[in-house]
């Protein structure tokens, strides 16, 4: 009986220890699952759905930095501008950025001419941003908050004046997984306000915000991208990742660190330079996978019967040749028009210079002409008697 009691006691103790160990394991597993959610505002499910993990571009073998200006008045960029004032849960991109800055959830950095530095040294104070752009605010102090909060009325948020964005893109080739792709690094809102003399609106770059800081919130903000389908099925992050926007290149990183406007001084030269940079990106991607050999193409054309792969190869080859020919013609046409424009301007300047001395010579000739003298009064003869 004594031995039976000892066996039962040992079995109960072992079962109790196993139960405690299982509870500790379950608790640790539950803690490991909850921990990532407490560290970020985006859930694991959202990370998997929206591809929250970004490719690290520090170790890529090829990289090109491109700067674009987005005009929010264009139809393709409309989803970033509308609604100008919040409608329910719908807000535009600048209002979202502004609210996040006011709540202290993200940071902004100074706009420096020619470079972007995202360090604590160039981090903006939100109060200074409000004062710099004359945005009225109310400073509030909360008991739980270390720093003061700045309340801005919806009508005072200058979302209607932000008519553009600068964006910094990075095009890269990752040799580790043979991927050619692009990502947005940062955005800069452009504020347009009338000058002191009522001239055209002046452009004021406000600040830089990094896309990595914005992305957890962009993945949760639904936007409308069509006038025909009003379902909010797209997010700001989808919009940027799918490159649904349209922007003109104003700079590509170079050794001299100069924008296009410094060496492409006319509109036609600017268009040629933008087209050249776009074609360089397309050509680089095409060269990665290799172009068909002209000898191989000639051999395929000589065949009477072609397979579907050979037909597709010929179609792509002809399309590339056609695009190259069109690009060459456009470049030559733009160059000729530029030469004609320069020649016309030179001729007009020469004509203006030649007209002035001619007028002066006419005036001199006019003053040199003597005035006609009055006819002499005839004398009356007197006859003597």
More confident residue, 253 or 359: 253
Mean pLDDT value across residues 94-103 = 95
For 265-278, write each residue's pLDDT tens digit: 999 999 999 999 99
**Domain segments of the chain as ranges:** 47-253, 255-339
- Kindly indicate the confidence band of residue 200, based on its pLDDT and cuts at 50, 70 and 90: confident
97-118 b/e (C-beta count within 10 Å ≥ 16 → b): bbbbbbeeebbbbbbeeeebeb
pLDDT at 378 over 60: no
Give residue 57's pLDDT.
86
222-248 b/e (C-beta count within 10 Å ≥ 16 → b): ebbbeeeeeeeebbbbbbbbeeebebe
Mean pLDDT value across residues 61-69 = 96
The model's pTM is: 0.68
Give residue 154's pLDDT.
92
pLDDT at 92 over 90: yes
Give residue 36's pLDDT.
31
In this structure, are residues 337 and 268 in contact, taking their beta carbons and an 8 Å threshold? yes
More confident residue, 292 or 382: 292
pLDDT at 94 over 70: yes
For the chain, give the mean pLDDT. 79
88 torsion bin: left (phi>0), alpha (psi -120 to 50), beta (else): left
- Kindly indicate the confidence band of residue 79, based on its pLDDT and cuts at 50, 70 and 90: very high
In this structure, are residues 65 and 170 in contact, taking their beta carbons and an 8 Å threshold? yes
Mean pLDDT value across residues 203-215 = 97
How many Cα atoms are found within 13 Å in the side-chain-facing hemisphere of 189?
A: 26
Q: Following DSSP, what letter does each residue of 271-328 receive, concatenated?
A: HHHHHHHHHHHHHHHHHHS-PPPHHHHHHHHT-SS--HHHHHHHHHHHHHHHHHHHHH
Q: How much of the chain exceeds pLDDT 70, in percent?
A: 74
Give residue 1's pLDDT.
47
Among 195-204, 249-258, 302-311, the range with the most confident prediction by mean pLDDT is 249-258
More confident residue, 185 or 316: 185
For 247-260, write each residue's pLDDT tens digit: 999 999 999 999 99
pLDDT at 153 over 80: yes
Give residue 176's pLDDT.
87
For 155-179, write each residue's pLDDT tens digit: 999 999 999 999 999 999 998 888 9
């Amino acid at each position: 009986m004594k031995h039976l009691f000892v066996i039962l006691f040992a079995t109960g103790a072992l079962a109790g220890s196993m139960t405690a160990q299982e509870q500790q394991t379950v608790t640790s597993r539950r803690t490991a699952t909850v921990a990532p959610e407490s560290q970020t505002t985006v859930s694991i499910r959202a990370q998997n759905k929206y591809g929250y993990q970004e490719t690290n571009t520090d170790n890529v073998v090829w990289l090109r930095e491109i700067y674009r200006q987005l005009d929010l008045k264009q139809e393709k960029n409309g989803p970033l501008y509308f609604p100008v004032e919040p409608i329910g849960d719908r807000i535009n991109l600048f209002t979202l950025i502004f609210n996040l800055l006011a709540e202290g959830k993200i940071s902004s950095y100074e706009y420096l001419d020619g470079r972007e530095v995202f360090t604590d040294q160039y981090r903006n104070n939100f109060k200074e941003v409000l004062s710099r752009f004359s945005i009225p605010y109310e400073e509030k102090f909360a008991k739980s908050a270390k720093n003061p909060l700045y309340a801005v009325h919806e009508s005072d948020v200058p979302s209607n004046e932000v008519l553009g964005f600068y964006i910094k893109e990075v095009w890269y080739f990752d040799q580790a997984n043979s991927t050619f792709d692009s990502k947005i690094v940062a955005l800069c809102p452009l504020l347009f306000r009338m000058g002191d003399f009522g001239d055209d609106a002046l452009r004021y770059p406000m600040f830089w915000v990094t896309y990595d800081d914005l992305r957890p919130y962009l993945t949760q903000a639904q936007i409308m991208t069509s006038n025909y389908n009003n379902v909010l099925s797209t997010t700001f992050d989808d919009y940027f990742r799918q490159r649904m926007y349209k922007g003109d290149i104003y700079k590509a990183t170079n050794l001299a660190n100069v924008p296009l406007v410094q060496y492409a001084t006319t509109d036609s030269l600017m268009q040629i330079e933008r087209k050249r940079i776009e074609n360089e990106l397309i050509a680089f991607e095409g060269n990665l996978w290799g172009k068909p050999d002209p000898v191989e193409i000639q051999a395929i054309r000589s065949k009477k019967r072609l397979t579907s792969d050979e037909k597709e190869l010929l179609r792509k080859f002809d399309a590339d040749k056609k695009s190259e020919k069109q690009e060459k013609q456009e470049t030559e046409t733009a160059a000729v028009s530029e030469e004609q424009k320069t020649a016309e301007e030179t001729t007009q300047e020469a004509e203006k210079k030649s007209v002035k001395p001619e007028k002066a010579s006419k005036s001199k000739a006019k003053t040199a002409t003597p005035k006609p003298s009055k006819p002499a009064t005839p004398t009356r003869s007197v006859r003597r008697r």
